[in-house]
Amino acid sequence: MKRLFVGGISWDTNDDLLRDAFARFGPVRDARVIYDRDSGRSRGFGFVTFDNDEDADNAVENMDGQELDGRRIRVNEAMDRGSGGGGGGRY
């Protein structure tokens, strides 16, 4: 299973459109546009998950730099968030 980061998406792009755009490369397990919890507006990126790593690699190769919903998107393998990090507070 491989999760892809999709950046630069239009504010009008929704989960279904994102799924449809990537489904031609193989079965999509999950497609999610990330929304701001306060405004409810798209944050301009999302994630697409494929069960098959080869399908995901093919999607990256063919979709990175392409236009989706009027915007040129960036597609690459998503990195694990890891633990910790974040901004430190003042002491």
Tokens linked to 16: 């279904």
pTM, two decimal places:
0.85
> What is the DSSP-derived secondary structure letter of residue 24?
G
**Edge to edge, what strands does the sheet with 74-77 contain?**
28-35, 42-50, 2-7, 74-77
> Which residue has 């990195």 as its token pair?
79
Q: Mind listing the pLDDT tens digit of every residue in the chain (91 residues)?
A: 999 999 999 999 999 999 999 999 999 999 999 999 999 999 999 999 999 999 999 999 999 999 999 999 999 999 876 655 555 555 5
